[in-house]
């Protein structure tokens, strides 16, 4: 049987735009049907915005690439209507083990906090992730949403103008010109769009190579994350073993800098390496093998007039910490509601500059974390190796050293502290985790959860406080969600949103981030907060 990543999911079809006398102007064009381009397209289409995705390929990601998805992106995917199939298919895990040389030095349990609908992490092949998103696109199309994927449409040139963008697109039947009011470039780490616009991508390349292999095996290994420093089967290097659905296992083997990549990738060289790791008697089959050199880089700005960059095109991180696709979805989560308001004339274009500011803040946090993990895993000097090994040796005996072991700090969403869209915190001694700029933490509501009730539009969350059911300010509408601490017997809602206060009112953005909060409703204050959150103050 063919693998899902070998089947064209959006085969080339001729578009009427290719036969138009003058170039057709579309509302939003997205380059790239990777997870981030698909995420952006679904988000916009759900809001009724016409969107066309162009991809030079016609299939999902070749091989798995991303495997680990964190809670926040799953919550975003819920809003996009594809969280459930991810969680249904994905593998949940909580236990991690750390090995040094030939021994286990300790294990840990992620101990995810209770009272969240979604797990801390799931593992799932990237091709399934993309397939579920393509399914969602088909579902939206069937419901009449203005969304289209054009396979084997390769963008060859981009022209920028004050109020639109022109694209030269190549197809199996020749080239055509397309125009877009707005262009979102989600064309991956090697972003041709970036190159076409002559934009820099600055950062660090880590002088190391990693063999990434997905193997299919009926193995006894438990559903845990196993990380080896300096194991006997890969001396002086590191290794990772992680489970995916369908008996597929992800294996990362660090190879060092001076290697012949083509040679190392050949099955006759890969298989003996894996046998050393897994044992001679384990039967396995290679699904996909690749060799990567990791980098941590970002663009100086993500917005260039009418062109907006998102996902790997805008920033790239080493995969320790699973921050690539996870953070890319936070980009489009941040961008799409802003773009919709701007396109509807309900917010000034400058609101899009806050996308730049907030997501650069996120990218820098991810780059910092990924760089630190990479530095721990692949020490760059004799002394950094000595210190690293000292941490590992101590971690076997003393718990104090375990927080210093860094085999990846797993992705968490960032708080947009200092964002111009935030209003000053006016909830005295309110919980720090829900201060303005924070992503709303989930909370249980009986059999239900809080987050599915938020999102897509501005919400006024009142907890034991009075407020009007809705109000409008300058074209932007806010709808009230009235709750009481009594709605949650576990008191998590109180702990996460009230602290010691008896009541609270939150203004929550369409991307489920807090814009403002106070103990009670004050119309003038919340109108100002809404203006500020939409770039009008």
Partner 1 sequence: MSDQLTLTPNIDGADDFYAELLAAHEGLAKDQSDALNARLVLVLANHIGNRAVLSQALEAAALKE
Q: Give me the residues that bind ligand FAD (CB under 6 A), please.
A: 31-37, 54-57, 61, 65-68, 126, 154-155, 186-188, 192, 212, 292, 311-313, 319, 322, 324-326, 328
Cβ atoms of residues 176 and 245 within 8 Å: no
- Cβ of residue 100: shortest distance to partner 1, in angstroms? 13
- Cβ of residue 450: shortest distance to partner 1, in angstroms? 35
Here's the x/- map for partner 1, 355-394, by CB under 8 A: it reads as ----------------------------x--xx-xxx-xx
The two counts, helices (H) then strands (E), for the chain are 12, 28
Q: Which is nearer to partner 1, 195 or 397 (CB)?
A: 397
Q: How far apart are CA 276 and CA 153, in angstroms?
A: 44
- Count of chain residues binding partner 1 (CB under 8 A): 12
Q: Which is nearer to ligand FAD, 320 or 526 (CB)?
A: 320
- Cβ of residue 108: shortest distance to partner 1, in angstroms? 18
55 makes contact, choosing from partner 1, ligand FAD, none, with CB < 5 to 8 Å by partner type, with ligand FAD
Angle, vertex CA 62, rays to CA 61 and CA 68, nearest 5: 60
Q: Which is nearer to ligand FAD, 35 or 510 (CB)?
A: 35
365 makes contact, choosing from ligand FAD, partner 1, none, with CB < 5 to 8 Å by partner type, with none
Q: Which is nearer to partner 1, 216 or 387 (CB)?
A: 387
311 makes contact, choosing from partner 1, ligand FAD, none, with CB < 5 to 8 Å by partner type, with ligand FAD
Q: Which is nearer to partner 1, 16 or 400 (CB)?
A: 400
H helices of 249-350, in order, are 261-265, 267-278, 324-343
Cβ atoms of residues 67 and 250 within 8 Å: yes
Here's the x/- map for partner 1, 388-417, by CB under 8 A: it reads as -xxx-xx---x-xx--x-------------
183, two tokens: 């262009």
Q: Which is nearer to ligand FAD, 187 or 230 (CB)?
A: 187
57 makes contact, choosing from ligand FAD, partner 1, none, with CB < 5 to 8 Å by partner type, with ligand FAD
CA distances from 157 to 168, 193, 197, 306, 383 (A): 5, 8, 9, 15, 48
- Cβ of residue 229: shortest distance to partner 1, in angstroms? 14
Q: How far apart are CA 305 and CA 316, in angstroms?
A: 22
The pair phi, psi for residue 64, each rounded to 5°, is -80, -45
Cβ atoms of residues 58 and 10 within 8 Å: yes
CA distances from 342 to 286, 333, 339, 413, 536 (A): 48, 15, 5, 25, 12
- Cβ of residue 480: shortest distance to ligand FAD, in angstroms? 35
Cβ atoms of residues 146 and 50 within 8 Å: yes
56, two tokens: 């030079």
390 makes contact, choosing from ligand FAD, partner 1, none, with CB < 5 to 8 Å by partner type, with partner 1
393 makes contact, choosing from partner 1, ligand FAD, none, with CB < 5 to 8 Å by partner type, with partner 1
CA distances from 390 to 100, 159, 278, 385, 398 (A): 11, 55, 27, 8, 12
- Cβ of residue 65: shortest distance to ligand FAD, in angstroms? 4
Q: Which is nearer to ligand FAD, 34 or 85 (CB)?
A: 34
Maximal C-alpha separation, the chain: 74
Interface residues with partner 1 (CB under 8 A) are 383, 386-387, 389-391, 393-394, 398, 400-401, 404
């Amino acid at each position: 049987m063919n693998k899902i990543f070998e089947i064209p999911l959006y085969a080339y079809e001729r578009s009427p735009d290719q036969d138009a006398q003058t170039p057709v102007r579309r509302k939003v064009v997205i380059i790239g049907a990777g997870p981030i381009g698909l995420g952006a397209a679904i988000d916009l289409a759900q809001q009724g915005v016409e969107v066309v995705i162009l991809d030079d390929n016609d299939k999902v990601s070749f091989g798995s690439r991303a495997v680990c998805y964190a809670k926040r992106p799953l919550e975003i995917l819920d809003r996009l209507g594809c969280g459930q199939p991810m969680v249904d298919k994905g593998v949940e895990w909580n236990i991690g083990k750390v090995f040094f040389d030939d021994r286990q030095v300790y294990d840990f349990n992620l101990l995810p906090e209770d009272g969240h609908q979604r797990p801390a992490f799931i593992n799932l092949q990237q091709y399934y992730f993309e397939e579920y998103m393509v399914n969602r696109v088909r579902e939206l199309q069937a419901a009449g949403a203005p969304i289209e994927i054009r396979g084997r449409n390769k963008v060859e040139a981009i022209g920028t103008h004050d109020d639109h963008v022109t694209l030269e697109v190549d197809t199996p039947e020749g080239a055509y010109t397309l125009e877009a009011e707005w262009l979102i470039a989600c064309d991956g780490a090697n972003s041709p769009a970036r190159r076409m616009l002559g934009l820099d991508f600055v950062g660090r390349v880590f002088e190391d190579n990693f063999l990434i292999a997905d193997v299919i095996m009926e193995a006894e290994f438990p559903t845990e994350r196993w990380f080896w420093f300096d194991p006997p089967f890969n001396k002086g290097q590191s290794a990772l073993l992680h489970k995916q659905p369908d008996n597929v296992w992800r294996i990362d083997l660090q190879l060092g800098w001076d290697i012949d990549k083509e040679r190392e990738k050949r099955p006759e060289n890969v298989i003996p390496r894996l046998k050393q790791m897994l044992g001679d008697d384990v039967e396995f089959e290679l699904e996909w093998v690749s060799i990567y050199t990791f980098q941590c880089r970002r663009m100086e700005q993500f917005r260039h007039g009418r062109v907006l960059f998102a996902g790997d095109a805008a920033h790239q991180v080493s995969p320790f910490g699973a921050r690539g696709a996870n953070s890319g979805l936070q980009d489009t989560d941040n961008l799409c509601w802003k773009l919709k308001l701007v396109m509807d004339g309900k917010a000034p274009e400058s609101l899009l500059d806050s996308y730049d500011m907030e997501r650069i803040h996120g990218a820098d946090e991810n780059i910092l974390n990924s760089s630190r993990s990479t530095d721990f895993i692949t020490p760059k000097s004799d002394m950094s190796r000595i210190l690293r090994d000292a941490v590992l040796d101590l971690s076997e005996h003393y718990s104090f050293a375990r927080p210093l072991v860094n085999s990846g700090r797993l992705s968490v969403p960032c708080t947009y502290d200092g964002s111009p869209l935030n209003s000053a915190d006016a909830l005295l001694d309110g919980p720090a985790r829900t201060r303005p700029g924070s992503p709303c933490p989930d909370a249980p509501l009986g059999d239900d959860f809080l987050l599915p009730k938020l999102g897509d539009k501005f919400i006024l969350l009142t907890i034991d406080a009075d407020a009007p059911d809705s109000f409008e300010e300058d074209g932007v509408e806010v709808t009230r969600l009235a709750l009481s601490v009594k709605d949650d017997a576990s008191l998590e809602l109180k702990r996460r949103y009230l602290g010691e206060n008896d009541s609270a009112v939150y203004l929550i953005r369409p991307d489920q981030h807090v814009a403002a909060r106070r103990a009670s409703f004050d119309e003038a204050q919340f109108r100002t907060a809404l203006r500020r959150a939409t770039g009008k103050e």
